[in-house]
Amino acid sequence: MRTALLVAFVLLLTAVAAFCGEVTVTYYGHSCFTLASEGGPTIMIDPYGSYVPYPGLPAEADIVLMTHKHVDHCPPCHGEMDRVLGDPLYVLALKADGSVMAGNWKITDAFSTRILAASHENARGGGAGLVGIFRFEIDGIVFAHLGDLGTLLDAAQMAALRDVEVVFLPVGKQFTLDAAEAMTVIAQLPAVKVVFPIHYYVQGITPWSGMAPLSDFTALAGLMYPVTRIDDDSVTLDADDLPASLEVWLLNYVE
């Protein structure tokens, strides 16, 4: 019996060690990131079409998650099939009728995600229709990409995202949350340790002059949380080494 217990304990430790590793997060600009872990697929979220002239794409990925059909989040929806290299599996959160593919989805044997329905429309009349929120876990870290979220989270969304530790959060106002609303959404996510702001104005690149710059958000966020500029386009996360309390991390975009 003692031997059996020891074997079970060793197997449990082995499983935990295999499950918890490092995840490299790379920022390509706008709302687009890749997440890669050793031995796992490279996940890309919300690639942008050539209409948004960040220099990072095309880039390679195995799985591409797209929160909605707008050209700055779903190039294939607009005929641009060359923005992602390789032979990726595309996952669009919306059905043909514009409704959200809500639910738990096994994309491959190595990757699953939950998709939540959310509104793109904000209080200022910007945005249109619905977006999907992707919640998924890689190597022991729970991530959520909020797409072009336009409203505060409702009770059901909060419950579904209650364990999220790393969030990609829109802050640019014109079509999404503004800085103050983004701060409220942060407060609605009690487990979050790292916030990556997305979907903000960058002079010379972003084609919508009405969007707010990143500084609008960081000025508010800095009153409550550490705001850290990482002088790189990538950062490596470890489930055992996330910040003890919430921090906002700013990445350079791939050039």
- 199 alpha-carbon distance from chain centroid: 11
pLDDT of residue 251: 98
Q: What's the rounded mean pLDDT across residues 111-137?
A: 93
Alpha-carbon torsion angle 195, 247, 140, 105, nearest 10: -20
Give 10 or 181, the one with higher predicted confidence: 181
pTM metric for this prediction: 0.91
Give dist(CA 12, CA 189) in Å, integer: 30
Q: Could you tell me the fold of the domain covering 22-251? A: Metallo-beta-lactamase; Chain A (3.60.15)
Average pLDDT, the chain: 92
Give dist(CA 91, CA 115) in Å, integer: 11
| pLDDT over 50 (residue 244) | yes
| pLDDT over 50 (residue 233) | yes
| pLDDT over 50 (residue 63) | yes
**The one-letter amino acid at 45:** I
Q: Which of 61, 57, 119, 121 is nearest to 88 (CA)?
A: 61
Q: What's the rounded mean pLDDT across residues 217-244?
A: 98
Q: What's the rounded mean pLDDT across residues 152-157?
A: 98
CB 62 within 8 A of CB 41: yes
Least confident stretch, 4-8, 64-68, 140-144: 4-8
| pLDDT over 50 (residue 156) | yes
pLDDT of residue 16: 35
